[in-house]
Amino acid sequence: MATITLKGNPIDTIGELPAVGSKVPGFNLTDTDLHDRTLSNFSGKNLIFNIFPSLDTPVCAASVRKFNSEAASFNNAAVLCISADLPFAHKRFCESEGLDNVYPLSTFRSPQFGKDFGVEITTGPLAGLLSRAVVIVDPEGVVKYVEQVPEIAQDPDFDAALAALK
């Protein structure tokens, strides 16, 4: 379990992020066209898992925009923007923002993702949503970088995450 904060108040997650050097857990998430996406759909790519509570918050929306703008500069990388938001919300947000360098994915059919990645919030007003975290995975499926953002309202360390791709 990780203890993080929401506006300074402690809340807990169900576990810990995957360890650096370990194999990334498999997943089954839903895209904006209601298709299932699994780890095998991104085989052979560097992966940026941008995990967050909801697109309906300013910090979450900003992280999707930031990773979208940065993703185009990396060869062989896929940015997976993952939350419990419904696929329709992901689609509406990405279309209205003109974001096309990210893969918006929902856990609405697969709550196991939050457990397997250790990011499901278990206490406080956001219980059931995902914490803000970044996981970088190489083309062989090995975790290269993790960040459990300590305060939900704080941006992830974009520079450190993107440096892990180099």
> What pLDDT shows up at residue 59?
73
Domain count, the chain: 1
Instruction: Establish if 23 belongs to a structural domain.
Output: no
Instruction: Establish if 41 belongs to a structural domain.
Output: no
The rounded average pLDDT for each run of 10 residues, N- to C-terminus, in the chain (166 residues) is 92 96 97 96 94 83 76 82 94 84 92 96 96 95 96 91 85
Query: Out of 17, 29, 48, 60, which one is annotated catalytic?
Result: 60
Instruction: Establish if 20 belongs to a structural domain.
Output: no
Pairing of the two strands 102-106 and 77-83: parallel
> What pLDDT shows up at residue 113?
97
Q: What residue numbers bound the domain in which 108 lies?
A: 46-163
* Residue the block writes with tokens 């803000």: 132
Instruction: Establish if 9 belongs to a structural domain.
Output: no
Check if the beta carbon of residue 51 is closer than 8 Å to that of residue 135. Answer: yes
60 assigned to active site: yes
Closest CA to 30 of 96, 98, 82: 82
> What pLDDT shows up at residue 72?
65
